[in-house]
Amino acid sequence: MGKAYLSLGSNVEPERHLRAAVTALRERFGDVLLSPVYRTRSVGFDGTDFLNSAAVIDSDLDPLALNDWLHALEDAHGRDRSGPRFSDRTLDIDIVFYDDRVMQGPGNLRLPRDELKHAFVLLPLADIAPDMVDPRSGQRLDALWQAHADRDAPPGVVAIDFT
Mind listing the pLDDT tens digit for each residue in 69-97?
999 999 888 776 566 666 678 899 999 99
The pairing of beta strand 92-98 with beta strand 2-10: antiparallel
Regions of the chain where pLDDT drops below 70:
45, 80-87
Q: Which of 73, 72, 67 is nearest to 97 (CA)?
A: 67
Angle ∠(57,111,132) on CA atoms, nearest 5: 55
Q: What is the pLDDT of residue 75?
A: 86
Calpha distance 112→74 (Å, rounded): 20
CB 156, CB 38: distance < 8 Å: yes
CB 42, CB 11: distance < 8 Å: yes
Q: What is the pLDDT of residue 146?
A: 97
Predicted TM-score (pTM) of this structure: 0.93
Domain 2-158 carries which CATH code?
Answer: 3.30.70.560
